[in-house]
Structure 1
Amino acid sequence: MSCKQICITLAAVCSVLLVIVLVRTFTLVPRKDAVIACKTADSDFIKLTDQIVKRFQRALQIKTISFKRGEYNRDQLLLLSSHLEKSFPLVHSSPLVKLDIIANYSRLYTITGSNTSLTPYLLAAHLDVVPAIPEEWEFPPFEAQIKDEYIYARGAIDFKQGIMGILEALEYLLSKGFKPNRSFYIAFGHDEEVTGVDGARAVGQELQARGLKKLEFLLDEGLAVLNGFIPGIQKTVALIGIGEKGFLTLKLHVKGEAGHSSMPLKETAIGILAKAVVKIEDNPLPSMLGYGPEKEMLEHLAHEMPLAARIIMSNLWLFGPLVSWFFSQKPATNAIIRTVTSVTMFNGGVKTNVLPSDATAYINHRIHPAQSLQEIIDYDKAIINDDRVKLSVEDSMVAASGSPSGENDFGYQIISNSIRQIWTNATTAPGMMIGNTDTKHYKDFTNNIYRFSPTVMFPGDEKRFHGVNEPLLFGNTDTRHYSMITKNIYRFSPTVMFLGDEKRFHGINERISKKNLEQAINFYYHIITNADENSLTNIHQHSDEL
């Protein structure tokens, strides 16, 4: 082939690639059905009152702390249950609602609809919270004080706003004579923060024992309403979790020879183990970009990005390696595209002048949905390549595969539509939880499991989650315990977050704004009313304005 022919061939190939790239760039736009925005002037808008705020504050003041598996504040859980029953008299007296106490503390509500041909759905939340160190907080973490329209307390966004939001919405509906067509369940586990093995798992087993075969969808806490988190996107982005990473905790153990430090061996147990740990940290697992829910997320958001980024994100088949490199530069985005590794514990030696006879380390992997547990174990063994280092599995959970998020998938679209009715300027997209939730205990009932918390976040808010001034959820939830009853699990928290708020999650100064609390209540109101229809074409229409 002559040089001219080679040039012509290359030009033709480049032209074809260019056409494909441009076509995908300008046509890969997800369809969004028109929705009627929820306005404060609507007669069915649930306005935040002092009574609602006080009920919420009281729920936050009850210290339903989970410390470890099987160790939680039982008296406080009973106190919170009493508060819920006093606060929502219609919910707890209506003939349409049946409450069952599961495993002594978890709560399962069954709301009976008139149309038995419609498949029921389930709304999940949890009663417990993580511990807090009062000295680090601006306000005592269990006083629920208000400053600048923000309510500061442990559980403000993880996840007592979900509990109170769901019940406030249902109480309001019952007060207006609501009689559902579609049956649904509300499940509040009591030990989600310590894996939910006593609470949500028992709820899932109870539903199975009743003969429940399928749920239309399940909505639990999860991703949130984000502001400024995604470079290049000015709009608010609401991510609906359609899958979540698995996890694998490995124990590395080396048995060495004891002795005295005056006569050191060539290698000690600590030295051998340290080399293994360095190998693990120096050899991250490969990028799995394009093989999990992250691909759908980026393609959904591409149309909101500037042109250059839109071209790249719409054509991951071509620019995937570039995106993988870019995402690898920051921990938060790196966690989206691959199985990540953290060395969390290292123990060895008992005295300064004694050679240790053994050493142990613990490695925690958060596993991308495209990879298996065994694949990660085999990778670690190959990287360490030292028979003296023994690996054993301490704990594990398989990653949750993606729930459906297409244009005709009822559960996903109900959540997406409800979000856009509350946050009218938001764009919705499927996402992946980098932590784990209790929805796994319900997955055998549905393929449609969604993870979303109706919380608005701005840059910096992510630090408050399980931290100081908390407003968002990025950790584990009860979804895994429902995996036997549904595959349709979605994870979303109605939490508004700005960049920086993520540090409050399980951190210091967890908080939620009063406006966001109002939004959360109305979000769940729309979930219940929208899901009560038998198809996506009958989305809730608002009452006439006052």
Structure 2
Amino acid sequence: MKKLGILLGLILLALAAVIVFKTYTHPFAKLSAEQPEPLKVPVSEHSVKRFATGLQYNTVSYIDSAENPFPVYDSFRLYVREAYPRVFSNLKDTLINGHQLLLVWKGSNPSLKPLLFMSHYDVVAPGAHEHDEDAIGQNMFDMSEDPAPLPTEEFSKWNYPPFSGAVTEGRIHGRGAIDMKGVVFALLESVDTLLAQQFVPQRDIYIALDPDEEVGGLRGAAHLATYLKNQGIRFETIFDEGGIVASPGTAEGINQNIAFVGIAEKGVVAYRIKVKGTGGHSSMPPLQTAAGRAAIIMQRLENNQLPQRMIKPTADFMNIAGAGMGFTGRMAIANQWLFQGMLFKQMAKTPQANALTRTTTAITQLKGSDGNNVLAPVVEVVINFRILPGETSQDVLAHIKKACEGFEVEIDAPRIPVEPSNVSPTDGRGYDIIQDAVGQLYPGTLVTPYLTIGATDCKHMGELSDRIYRFMPVLLNPFEQRSIHNFNEYMSIDNYGRMISYYSYLMQQFDKK
């Protein structure tokens, strides 16, 4: 027994040594004690005015496209054409499906694969979370269990009319300033400036201005993808919205900016479950009603969700977030072969971190009886799933069917499922040049791959490139992040200047290294 105890002690000692060694040698990010100031990029009054005027167009998109103000869309595109005559006289423009605009800047070397820059000019309604499909309206990068509350009075009204384009105190106010007319105008300003300098890119540059990203892109980006596939075009790299540069304090213990570059995107599917039972008067109910059966199914789905998994974007992000953690947190990340269960349990405590590690389950709609004394013969439940890369909508369907065992149900998907994207590589020119540009504009900023949780228009582009990156080069504090799809959205002029510089840099420098 004594020998056995010694042997077990030696094994435990060796195990502890391995854990400590792996913790201290794990490639966590190297942190800096200070965060340098971002680069100051001057912006002309003329450039600011062109952007501010563009915010005055009420280009709201709705799930029911019959509500869309299409004449305003037409007026907006006419305004853009008149505001940037040099761009539209030098680039070929094509209108697809009535409102999807595509600009093509011919390069000097047709043998090179082109680049695609995506943006959208539709916006959500001025009221917070009205009609939009994918509202965020919060600090999406706050990984703490108890995020600090933000002052709600700041989001109870607009300080300036949402379509005023007011310019005050270094800010450009209006719905869509960040999401995503800022990128629309930054791209146009970049091209306009480079044309004035007589710059000619080596490879063709495509710029897409999409009309309905906020409601799924089925009228715009989906038709654009079909058009480009029919032309036989494949892109070297596609750039779209997604992550941002988040201000210091986003991750615990890290006092530096963090640039979140989306290298993958979750899929989305909503399944409707029709649970059948016995209808009639509530005075003579069966032992189990349709509503009761639906409640059991919902409880099964919430209590037994699809398993957590660690995928590459999240693993890479954990190497950044872990750098500011204490020894226990770093130990769990560095030794997931032993502590992954503990790590997942901790991540599951916050909605943001949980969403990075699993296909999420959200019960969003219920429909039962119209009367308080009437038994519904059928109860409908709609559940929204955000699908982690590596799983499919069919995996989700199989998961639902298992939860419905023992009950008579019908299951359908009211909208076409969007499968999760492939994971783009973090080596090669596409990702590297984003890092280079961020380093110049935001010195001292940590750059991390990231899983984009909300849907973007590049979900339609998966067949057109192996390298799709979702990133908008703006530095946002928690207040500014929360203004997205909320009240008081604005773009600082400093951020706008850096956006113009960022896209100019990518277009000029892509083929220089």
The yes-or-no answer on 1:527 pairing with 2:511 is no
Provide the aligned C-alpha RMSD in A: 2.3
Supply the distance in 1 between the matched residues of 2:277 and 2:15 (Cα, whole angstroms). Answer: 60
Q: 1:65 pairs with 52, 60, 68, which one?
A: 60
1:101 match: secondary structure: strand
Q: 2:250 pairs with 226, 229, 241, which one?
A: 229
1:161 Cα offset (Å): 0.3
Runs of 5+ consecutive residues of structure 1 not aligned to the other structure: 31-36, 468-507, 536-546
1:273 Cα offset (Å): 1.2
Supply the distance in 1 between the matched residues of 2:63 and 2:44 (Cα, whole angstroms). Answer: 36
**What is the match of residue 107 of structure 1?**
101
Q: Where does 1:441-456 land on structure 2 (aligned, <5 Å)?
A: 441-456=460-475
Supply the distance in 2 between the matched residues of 1:29 and 1:275 (Cα, whole angstroms). Answer: 45
Higher relative contact order (CA 8 A, sep 6+): 2
2:424 match: secondary structure: coil
The yes-or-no answer on 1:400 pairing with 2:402 is no
Runs of 5+ consecutive residues of structure 2 not aligned to the other structure: 31-36, 129-155
1:186 Cα offset (Å): 0.6
Q: Deviations over 1:72-108 (max 9, x none)?
A: 22111111111111111211112xx211111121111
1:309 Cα offset (Å): 4.4
Does structure 1 retain, via aligned residues, the 8 Å contact 2:278–2:290?
A: yes
Which AA in structure 2 matches 1:527? L
**What is the match of residue 169 of structure 1?**
190
**What is the match of residue 179 of structure 1?**
200
**What is the match of residue 398 of structure 2?**
378
Supply the distance in 1 between the matched residues of 2:336 and 2:259 (Cα, whole angstroms). Answer: 22
TM-score under structure 2 normalisation?
0.87
Supply the distance in 2 between the matched residues of 1:351 and 1:310 (Cα, whole angstroms). Answer: 55
Q: Where does 1:279-298 land on structure 2 (aligned, <5 Å)?
A: 279-288=300-309, 290-298=310-318
Supply the distance in 2 between the matched residues of 1:311 and 1:459 (Cα, whole angstroms). Answer: 29
Instruction: Return 71-80 or 385-394, whichever deviates more.
Output: 385-394
1:327 Cα offset (Å): 1.5
Q: 1:6 pairs with 5, 8, 11, which one?
A: 8
**What is the match of residue 337 of structure 1?**
357
Percent of matched pairs sharing the same residue? 30
**What is the match of residue 472 of structure 1?**
none
1:363 Cα offset (Å): 0.4
Supply the distance in 2 between the matched residues of 1:57 and 1:29 (Cα, whole angstroms). Answer: 39
Which AA in structure 1 matches 2:362? S
Which AA in structure 2 matches 1:100? T
Structure 1 residues 312 and 265, CA, compared in 2 at 3 Å: closer, same or farther? closer
Q: Where does 1:463-502 land on structure 2 (aligned, <5 Å)?
A: 463-467=482-486
Structure 1 residues 276 and 84, CA, compared in 2 at 3 Å: closer, same or farther? same
Does structure 1 retain, via aligned residues, the 8 Å contact 2:19–2:331?
A: no
Which AA in structure 2 matches 1:75? P
Structure 1 residues 354 and 12, CA, compared in 2 at 3 Å: closer, same or farther? closer
**What is the match of residue 500 of structure 1?**
none
Does structure 1 retain, via aligned residues, the 8 Å contact 2:101–2:209?
A: yes
Deviating runs (4+, > 6 A) in structure 1?
A: none
TM-score under structure 1 normalisation?
0.82
1:295 Cα offset (Å): 0.8
Does structure 2 retain, via aligned residues, the 8 Å contact 1:280–1:384?
A: no
Does structure 2 retain, via aligned residues, the 8 Å contact 1:124–1:186?
A: yes
Supply the distance in 2 between the matched residues of 1:340 and 1:463 (Cα, whole angstroms). Answer: 22
Does structure 1 retain, via aligned residues, the 8 Å contact 2:251–2:321?
A: no
Structure 1 residues 275 and 14, CA, compared in 2 at 3 Å: closer, same or farther? same
Does structure 2 retain, via aligned residues, the 8 Å contact 1:154–1:510?
A: yes
Instruction: Return 141-150 or 102-111, whichever deviates more.
Output: 141-150
1:263 Cα offset (Å): 2.4
Supply the distance in 2 between the matched residues of 1:48 and 1:305 (Cα, whole angstroms). Answer: 39
**What is the match of residue 475 of structure 1?**
none
Supply the distance in 1 between the matched residues of 2:29 and 2:159 (Cα, whole angstroms). Answer: 44
Supply the distance in 1 between the matched residues of 2:336 and 2:475 (Cα, whole angstroms). Answer: 29
Does structure 2 retain, via aligned residues, the 8 Å contact 1:235–1:304?
A: no
Does structure 2 retain, via aligned residues, the 8 Å contact 1:157–1:512?
A: yes
Supply the distance in 2 between the matched residues of 1:259 and 1:442 (Cα, whole angstroms). Answer: 50
**What is the match of residue 88 of structure 1?**
84
1:234 Cα offset (Å): 0.9
Which AA in structure 2 matches 1:516? N
Supply the distance in 2 between the matched residues of 1:191 and 1:282 (Cα, whole angstroms). Answer: 35
1:292 Cα offset (Å): 4.1
Which AA in structure 2 matches 1:84? V
Supply the distance in 1 between the matched residues of 2:38 and 2:380 (Cα, whole angstroms). Answer: 56
Q: 2:43 pairs with 33, 41, 48, which one?
A: 48
The structure in which a higher percent of residues are strand is 1
**What is the match of residue 110 of structure 2?**
116
1:330 Cα offset (Å): 1.3
